Amino acid sequence: MRTAEGAEALGMVEEHEASALGRPFRDGVASAVASIVEEVREGGLEALRAVARRLGDPEPVTLGLRDPVVDSRIASLDRESQRIIDAAAENLERFFRGMMDRFHDYECSSPGFQAGLRFQPVRRVGCYVPGGRHPLPSSALMTCIPARAAGVREVHVYSPSEAAEVLYAARRAGADTISSLGGAQAVAAMTFGSGGFPRVDMIAGPGNRYFTEAKRQLYGLVGVDMIAGPSEVAVIADCLASPRPVALDLLAQAEHDPDARCWLLTDSPALARAVESELLLLTGDIPRRPGETGLSERVSALVLDSLEDCIAACNRLAPEHLELHLSRGEDLALEKLEDYGAVFIGAGSCVAFGDYMAGPDHTLPTGTAARFSGSLSPMSFLRVQGWVRLAAEGGGEAARDVAAFARMEGLEWHARAAEARLDGESV
């Protein structure tokens, strides 16, 4: 664990802000992704097969989630795993359907006009489930279920994983198909419909840096939920916090990714030392991959003069996940904390609850993007569409005002179009 105090700690906050700004332009990832995207766009199915062979991925195919092949693979999944996935799905469905109950089309009358908004779901969504070292059925639940809750008609899962857990979760979440594609090539296939794979209007879900960079490059041709980077957690803790739960929660986030960012923000040097001791005890017998940093080495402790300073630093970090381990003043802290993806309140809570079962989505903004975006939810899949009708009363005066406004901006044909409505003319 790296520990910094005072000015050095604030310097680490500034370093994170600068790193977030430069992330998309490092490591040659952008050029590699652009090459794969163009290869897939031009070459279709044969290109997708060639990329899969180069990367050691499975043969690219699409299966309906009621296909007998899927049935046979799901049959190998034990009943307890099915029960856990079902329980998580029920919680998420309850949460997101309750959220949708609060959304209604909106109408407002103004002098001369009737106007309103419609919430229209996206038609076709691609939900991505990363491969990785272990199956990630939670990603299928956390992307497909809010899409279905929003009313999306077609939900297509893309994943390099053929694990029974992923297939079962995708089916349980209501997806239509699953395609065995990953990385930048999956984003290209979803965008262009390359090789006959399902083309979508929007892509949701986290992935590796190549997948993420492909989303960034193709945004505009296809919608995306967010441009997410490595996982993050910030834990704000005071001197009375218990070191072991704090350490465990930091390690839980660190195990996501060698590039994960895990911060302890505290005004207590003694707590920082105690957490460091716990980290060493907890990870002492865990082997690591060659060349990989240990979990505890991915943790940084920022010791600041006060909890108010910790809150200010946290708002600058804008972490994906935030935990509060405070003996008092949690409500006041929450009033001052503005920039985070999801917050877990009290020592009895932890990020793992939100990762799987609690309700709010685990697909969250990273790299300071919580300054301007939030959690994936049914809202992510809704388009806000406005409508306008000229009112029977006051419409003439409104048309005259619009014409005057248009001429203020030098747009004569806008003005004439409005004036044509003064005498009820049709166009």
Which residues form the catalytic set?
320-321
Torsion angle in degrees (nearest 10) through CA of 239, 241, 247, 252: -130
Q: Whole-angstrom Cα distance, residue 107 to residue 96? A: 24
Q: Which of 62, 182, 29, 96 is nearest to 363 (CA)?
A: 96
The radius of gyration computed from the CA coordinates of the chain, to the nearest angstrom, equals 25
* Long-range CB contacts (within 8 A, 24+) of 246-250: 246/271, 246/275, 246/278, 246/325, 247/275, 247/278, 247/279, 247/282, 248/278, 248/282, 248/350, 249/323, 249/350, 249/351, 250/275, 250/279, 250/299
Distance of CA 351 to the CA centre of its chain: 15
Instruction: Provide CB contacts within 8 A for 221, sequence distance 6+.
Output: 191
Q: Whole-angstrom Cα distance, residue 257 to residue 17? A: 19
Tokens representing residue 111 in the block: 């002098």
In a 3-state reduction of DSSP, which class is residue 343? strand
> Tokens 């899969």 identify what position?
52
Q: Whole-angstrom Cα distance, residue 309 to residue 304? A: 6
Q: Whole-angstrom Cα distance, residue 108 to residue 81? A: 49
Bridge partner residues of 126 (DSSP)? 156, 203
Bridge partner residues of 261 (DSSP)? 232
Torsion angle in degrees (nearest 10) through CA of 170, 172, 177, 183: -10
Question: Residue 334 carries which DSSP code?
Answer: H
Q: Whole-angstrom Cα distance, residue 166 to residue 187? A: 19
First to last CA, the chain: 70
Instruction: Provide CB contacts within 8 A for 319, sequence distance 6+.
Output: 232, 233, 234, 261, 263, 340, 341, 370
Q: Whole-angstrom Cα distance, residue 313 to residue 9? A: 9
